[in-house]
Amino acid sequence: MDSALKEGVLRLRRQRITSKNSVSPLQLRLPEVSRATAAEKAKTQADSGARAAFVKPILAAKGWSILDWAMASTVDFHTANDYLKGTTKPYPSTRKKLADALGMAVESLPP
């Protein structure tokens, strides 16, 4: 065998040996994920209840759905819906858009 071919074969053998000794993705241990405590869940539900209780009557008075509100705010539907459900805490700029579409100050919109 010429030297270039022999060198290539040896390199392939080393790669196979290395890959056999490496840890497979299935053997890796993932870090522990912290779960929300009952108190955190209760606070989220309270926040969402306050948000929905404040915003939904305004939407009803305007004859708007959540989609109409999102479109008037120039945000995605899921952004507006997740805000009402309390699953997200929107950026200040997003809260401003949501409040402006309702015709109110950002400070009056529940956090």
Q: Which CATH number belongs to the domain containing residue 107 in this structure?
A: 1.10.260.40
- Measured between alpha carbons, how far is 111 from 108 in angstroms, rounded to an integer? 9
Number of domains composing the chain: 1
Average pLDDT across the chain, whole number:
82
Q: Give how far the C-alpha of residue 46 lies from the chain's centroid of Cα atoms, to the nearest Å.
A: 20
Q: Could you tell me if residue 8 is inside a domain?
A: no
**Nearby residues of 47 by Cβ (< 8 Å), 6 or more positions away:** 86, 110, 111
- The structure tokens 């705010």 sit at 73
pLDDT at residue 50, as a whole number: 87
Q: Could you tell me if residue 99 is inside a domain?
A: yes
pLDDT tens for residues 35-78? 667 776 666 666 668 899 999 999 999 999 999 999 999 999 99
Q: Could you tell me if residue 97 is inside a domain?
A: yes
Question: What percentage of the chain carries pLDDT values higher than 70?
Answer: 68
Q: Please tell me the pTM assigned to this model.
A: 0.61
* Rounded average pLDDT over 76-87: 93
Q: Could you tell me if residue 31 is inside a domain?
A: no
Q: Could you tell me if residue 52 is inside a domain?
A: yes
CB 69 within 8 A of CB 98: yes
